[in-house]
Structure 1
Amino acid sequence: MSDMRIGGLATGMDIDKIVGDLMKAERIPLNKMEQEKTWLTWQRDAYRDMNKNFDELERMASDMKFSSVYNTKSTSSSMSDAVTATADPVASNGNYSIEVTQLATSAINTSSGGITKAGNEIDLNASLESQKDNFKNSASMDLANLDFTLTTFSDEGPTSKTFTITKDMSLNDVLNSVNTSDLGVRAFYDKQADKVILERTKTGNFNAGGAEIEIGGSSSFLTDVLQFSEANEKGGTDAAFTYNNALTVNSHNNSYKLNGVNFQFNDTTDGKNASIAVNNNVDHAVDKITKFVAKYNEIIESANEQVSERKNRDYKPLTDKEKEAMEEKEIELWEKQAKKGLLSNDSAIEGTLFSMRNQWYESVNTSGSFDTITDIGIKTSSNYRDGGKLLITESELRTALEDDPESVYKLFYGEGDEKGIAKKLEESLNNGMKQIEAKAGKSTSISNNFRIGKELDSIKDEMRDFEDRLNQIEDRYWSQFTAMEKAIQKMNSQSAQLMSQFG
């Protein structure tokens, strides 16, 4: 505004208030735009929250397609201190007999005696050459020009590595080079025993009739200084057990898998048989199905409430000016009413709910005992107000899972081209989410890629244009009142002059 504003000096009128009141009337269309913008923003967020719920249910439906949900096995052992087990879904139910006669052990070799002179100690981080007087058997040796070779064994055959000792290397350096090699050997020095230990990192006997850690090369450093001998090696044995009093098996590890059952050996059974029982883990399946149904009920209850909720037309979204005159609690209570009906009668949500309700009751050809969910103890609530909520009779569900878990699995997953309930629900939810996303987008969406975003952009443009128009109108009002003030001020001045002349 370029003209100076004169506010009632001549007339005594409150021009500020008059213009303000006039502008309130002029701003009414802008207030409505602001309210519409707020409403669309709330609606967009409500749609996105609904999609988050649908996405959570879709992921749970996807999880229901795995056979492990229905065919999980539980195991128990009559001698759990000696033998335990876990079972894969394919494992046959029943009892398994195991007698463990020997555990698998790691090969271990140690110095045959203390490696330091009496009263001396080794600085593990100082060079070997500087420590030679502290070793029992190294006074005449050049510890900077030695090498040694270690060989270990596996099912793939032997692995050898030669280690060269340089003049600057410490005992820790030598041991660490063994540890970081691919030999599968741990090497360390125990100060209290004054010995070096070489130990395989895996159990089992891989070199029948020989050592598991072979010493070779110019090995005087190992044999003389560190006092190693292959004859001192202990361990390196396979586990041995008898299965069902008939099959004797050796294993490099203290575990073995037979018929889908993973046996773990913790101790020998002292000539007795441990009995391992394998059964269907019905608790796990019941828990997964119950949680899925509970989440389904929770989401359809929320969705039904929102699509059936009526808009409260007595409560419009508050403008910024209106909020300035209200307490925070008043604003909160007002907006609670103003947000009612954001998703009222939405066709995408109603269509998704209708589709899901129908799919629960479509039969599935499982080639087993159960073709519908009513066969396994799941049915719809008889109370119409529940909007299609599901009820579970747990005893019936447990019986179904005990009698024919494969049929329950196929009921949810399907078989071949036959789609199960979970797959159908997943497809309905995906379709519904795509429709909602077309309306409200995602948090990462560009506004012109979804309907509400385009509407918000359009309203923002209208508001910006209208604000410019309001500024022009306000300038015009002030210009008119200022002209009036100047005219009256001029008339007052002329009147005063006339009065002075007639005075």
Structure 2
Amino acid sequence: MPIRITGMNSGLDTESIITALTQTKQDRLDTAKGDQKKLTWKQDKWKELNKKVVSFYNGALSTMRFSSAYTKKTTTVSNSNAATVITGESAMDATQSLEITKLAKSAYLTGQEVTVGGSKATKETKVEDLGLSAGDEIKFTIGGDSDDVLAVSIEEGDTIDSVLSKLKNAKSSETNTSLNFNYDENNGRFFVSSKSAGAAASFAIDESDSETMSKLGLAVKADGSNYIAGSSAEIVLNGETYTSDSNTFEINGLTITANEVTDGPITLTTKQDTSGIYDNIKKMLSEYNDLMKEFATLYNADKASSYKMLTDDQKEAMSDSEVEEWENKIKSGLLSGDDTIATVRNAMRDIMSSGIDVKLKDGTVKSLSLSSFGISTGSYFSTEENERDALHIDGDPDDSSTSGNTDLLKSMISTDPDAVMNFFSDLSKSLYGKLSDLMRGTEYSSSFTIYEDKLMASQYSAYNTKISDAQSALEAAQDKLYQKFSTMETALSKINSSSGSLSSFFGTGS
């Protein structure tokens, strides 16, 4: 923009005059900028709301469509110290007898003390000092198979440390199995263990070169006290024996972990987990309530029509807190009375109030609704406006408004869990399907979006053009007026110059 110097000859405040004369065009520019900013805030509001809708759609609502959400079972153990149980979906309601007769163990060898000249050998001790020679071999058999051998050869110049390294890296040629090795200098002993528990991972000393094993302290004592053989776990469930290389058994939907040998049988009781099903339903309803409250809060908000978008000049005249408060008034009412919110809100409310035909355990078919399970909204007149769509469960200990009522939902889960599953899965499918329709991509909106995000993006781009045009129009009008005032100033300058010359011509000499 060129430097504009005006009013030097006329004495007029041309800056203020031109600002006043072009105020209409300035207002158009400020309005376009303000409307674009307001659109940005509205987009942000929609993005936040849409994220919550999609989260509900993909989360709790999606889960509740499937039978797995209603087949929660739990198993109690009469001796919880002896065993723990994870109950799968396929587990059967039953009382079973369990006896734990053996626990899985890892094979373990505590080496005998290795000495040189009466002192404990260190990792730097050479194998020659232990009476070993190149070609001697250290051998272990794996898993009780005499052909599955882990072998390490002694080489000239080896130390205990280099032998230890070879043992750690050694693997059987048959099964690629290795063992854990360590040498404790403080005690002058090798320690050996299998990588995992069970008989299949156990090891034994190869006696074919017993002298080599003895010199390294790796031989088993005559009484066997320094060696524990690996063993598998064993349980007896309902009279049948099962074994496992770990202490965990997977049998007919139950994952049983044995913790200690029992003195006789203990009892496992598997039954429907009513609290688990109840919690899933409660979670879904809670998220539905949160979403409906959000819809109501945005829809019922004050439009704040008296709060216009602030211009830069207006912001400069206000404090930061005043600007923030003003703008928050506008933001809170951006979706007030919005038709899209009304459509989604009403559709969800209609689904949740509908009846569904359900087959009961006595074989009859009955139309049930949420109220059949003691689930309903609060009193219209005593409930805060934005909470009127919220659903309450009778007997819910976390809901002060209904905690004292009879808990029909828990009772129904206990007496007819299939009816509960059929009703809530069908209800969830209906609501899921409706939201799918409402979030289907169109010419104006993307997939999984309840608002016209594409249209709003197009509107934002249109504002860029509108702002550019308004800016150009303002600058053109200002330039035209500045040019006129500049012409006037030039004319006045000439007049003043001519007047000066005439005064000089008619002036008196000395």
Same fold at TM > 0.5: yes
Residue by residue over 1:365-405, the C-alpha shift from the partner in whole angstroms, topping out at 9 and shown as x without a partner, is: 55445854333332233427444321112422211222233
Residue by residue over 1:182-216, the C-alpha shift from the partner in whole angstroms, topping out at 9 and shown as x without a partner, is: 41532222334432222223333349xxx744638
Report what 2:431 is aligned to: 425
Deviation at 1:30, TM superposition (A): 0.6
Report what 1:416 is aligned to: none
Cα distance change of structure 1 residues 182 and 358 upon mapping to structure 2, 3 Å threshold: farther
3-state DSSP of counterpart to 2:218: coil
Deviation at 1:485, TM superposition (A): 1.1
Residue 496 of structure 1 pairs with residue 500 of structure 2: yes
Residue 336 of structure 1 pairs with residue 321 of structure 2: no
From 381, 405, 430, the equivalent of 2:417 is: 405
- Equivalent pairs: percent with the same residue? 25
Mapping for residues 40-51 of structure 1, pairs under 5 Å: 40-51=39-50
Deviation at 1:484, TM superposition (A): 0.8
From 373, 376, 396, the equivalent of 1:376 is: 373
Report what 1:321 is aligned to: 313
> Once structures 1 and 2 are overlaid, which stretch shifts more, 257-266 or 51-60?
257-266
Aligned residues: 476
CA contact (8 A) 1:240 1:249 kept: yes
Deviation at 1:52, TM superposition (A): 0.7
Deviation at 1:459, TM superposition (A): 1.0
- Aligned partners of 1:50, 1:437: CA distance in 2, in Å? 21
Matched AA of 1:71: T
TM-score after normalising by structure 1: 0.83
- Aligned partners of 1:367, 1:152: CA distance in 2, in Å? 59
3-state DSSP of counterpart to 2:268: strand
Residue by residue over 1:236-285, the C-alpha shift from the partner in whole angstroms, topping out at 9 and shown as x without a partner, is: 233333334x3344443323233323322222222x33223333332333
- Aligned partners of 2:147, 2:369: CA distance in 1, in Å? 59
Cα distance change of structure 1 residues 224 and 438 upon mapping to structure 2, 3 Å threshold: farther
TM-score after normalising by structure 2: 0.82
Deviation at 1:177, TM superposition (A): 0.6
> Once structures 1 and 2 are overlaid, which stretch shifts more, 464-473 or 474-483?
464-473
CA contact (8 A) 2:151 2:170 kept: no
Report what 2:93 is aligned to: 93
Residue 261 of structure 1 pairs with residue 254 of structure 2: yes
CA contact (8 A) 1:30 1:466 kept: yes
Mapping for residues 336-485 of structure 1, pairs under 5 Å: 336-369=328-361, 371-383=368-380, 385=385, 386-394=387-395, 395-413=407-425, 420-434=426-440, 438-439=444-445, 450-485=454-489
CA contact (8 A) 2:394 2:408 kept: yes
- Aligned partners of 2:46, 2:295: CA distance in 1, in Å? 10
Residue 241 of structure 1 pairs with residue 235 of structure 2: yes
3-state DSSP of counterpart to 2:46: helix
> Once structures 1 and 2 are overlaid, which stretch shifts more, 16-25 or 427-436?
427-436
CA contact (8 A) 2:205 2:220 kept: no
Report what 1:32 is aligned to: 31
Cα distance change of structure 1 residues 292 and 7 upon mapping to structure 2, 3 Å threshold: same
Report what 1:215 is aligned to: 206
- Aligned partners of 2:19, 2:146: CA distance in 1, in Å? 95
Residue 195 of structure 1 pairs with residue 196 of structure 2: no
Cα distance change of structure 1 residues 13 and 164 upon mapping to structure 2, 3 Å threshold: farther
- Aligned partners of 1:165, 1:425: CA distance in 2, in Å? 74
| Structure 2: runs of 5+ lacking an equivalent | 396-406
- Aligned partners of 2:231, 2:197: CA distance in 1, in Å? 7
CA contact (8 A) 2:164 2:181 kept: no
Cα distance change of structure 1 residues 365 and 195 upon mapping to structure 2, 3 Å threshold: farther
3-state DSSP of counterpart to 1:84: strand
CA contact (8 A) 1:149 1:219 kept: no
CA contact (8 A) 1:106 1:237 kept: yes
Report what 1:80 is aligned to: 80
Residue by residue over 1:144-201, the C-alpha shift from the partner in whole angstroms, topping out at 9 and shown as x without a partner, is: x4555544239x9985554455556713312321489941532222334432222223
Cα distance change of structure 1 residues 79 and 39 upon mapping to structure 2, 3 Å threshold: same
Matched AA of 1:77: V
Cα distance change of structure 1 residues 500 and 389 upon mapping to structure 2, 3 Å threshold: same
From 136, 142, 149, the equivalent of 1:152 is: 142
Deviation at 1:221, TM superposition (A): 4.6
Cα distance change of structure 1 residues 251 and 496 upon mapping to structure 2, 3 Å threshold: closer
| Structure 1: runs of 5+ lacking an equivalent | 414-419
Deviation at 1:45, TM superposition (A): 1.1
Cα distance change of structure 1 residues 440 and 19 upon mapping to structure 2, 3 Å threshold: farther
Cα distance change of structure 1 residues 165 and 364 upon mapping to structure 2, 3 Å threshold: farther
Deviation at 1:330, TM superposition (A): 0.8
Cα distance change of structure 1 residues 173 and 398 upon mapping to structure 2, 3 Å threshold: same
CA contact (8 A) 1:175 1:188 kept: no
- Aligned partners of 2:430, 2:321: CA distance in 1, in Å? 45
